[in-house]
Amino acid sequence: MSEIKIQHEYDGKRGSFYLEEGAKRFAEMVYVMAGPKKMIIEHTEVDDSLQGQGVGLKLLKELVDYVRKEEIKVIPLCPFAKAMFKKKEELQDVLN
């Protein structure tokens, strides 16, 4: 896989930050909006071929950049996201 380019899709209620090559989705962080300014991170999944490359954290950082711009607060129900927020103090400003 070449350069990692995170993409974002959102349908007005649910969305995800994801990494796709060809027609295959290799990683994604799924969220649902719990109001206009509140986001719940539900699930993160990274393909085995990308394990250990920091892809999950890249997804989270893209999400954090997005919610900062949009002034949205985050509730991480996903165990991975919750652990990363605990570890990375510089991301905690977006927590609800």
Is residue 26 within 8 A of residue 1, CB to CB? The reply is yes
Helix (H, G, I), strand (E, B) or coil at 18: strand
Strands (E), 34-86: 38-46, 73-76
Identity of the amino acid at 94: V
Q: Report the share of the chain in percent with pLDDT over 90.
A: 91
- How much is the mean pLDDT over the chain? 95
The predicted-structure confidence for 56-89, as pLDDT tens digits, reads as follows 999 999 999 999 999 999 999 999 999 999 999 9
b/e per residue, 20-58, with b = 16+ CB within 10 A?
A: eeeeeebbbbbbbbeeeeebbbbebbbeeebeeeebbbb
